[in-house]
Amino acid sequence: MRVKFKKLAMVAIVAGSMLALAGCSSNKNKMGPGGSMPGDENGAQAAGIGENENFGGDSSNGSAGSMQLAQKNTYYFDFDSSDVRQVDRPRVDATGNSLVSHPHKKVIVEGHTDPRGSREYNVALGERRANSVADILRSKGVNGHQARVVSYGAERLAVEGNTEQAFQADRRVVIADQ
């Protein structure tokens, strides 16, 4: 009788775990208009600069082009790297200068990874990538209340698939309007 109870308890634990995992699943992003890879507004977040600030949208801040900002401010990373590529540095600097010129504007710095690796590793890598970009923004004078770091890990893929091209599109940081 005791062995049956242990087996039943184990089955219940496994079933509960599977239900919890199913509830945590997310929709994968598809390519946006014009082949762009826009960011998403929903999902888990990691701690970052300005994390306790109110980041509600404000249509009076000139953010009518939120999708355009996300398309223009996507930075790609090498495999297993959180170093901002030199070719992207001028664009990150320009974004920082723009935010300094518009202190009312708020953005989310979203870190993403390809699906390889554990969930924990990918969330940490996404956060390191987002913090690398946020560090450059801070060095330009962006205030902590203007930018929030979020790591989605591999939860919001830009492109579905298991090709190197798909993986490259997933390894990114997106700076999106708030």
Residue 164 lies in a domain: yes
> Which residues form the domain of 159?
43-177
Q: Quick one: pLDDT at residue 178?
A: 86
Indicate the number of domains in the chain.
Answer: 1
In a domain, 14, yes or no: no
CATH of the domain at 143: 3.30.1330.60
Does a structural domain hold residue 28? no
**Residue 15, in any domain of the structure:** no
Contacts of 45 (CB under 8 A, 6+ apart): 51, 148, 150, 151
Is 156 within the bounds of a domain? Answer: yes
> Could you tell me the mean pLDDT of each successive run of 10 residues in the chain, 178 residues long?
54 50 41 36 38 37 40 88 97 96 96 96 98 97 94 95 95 94
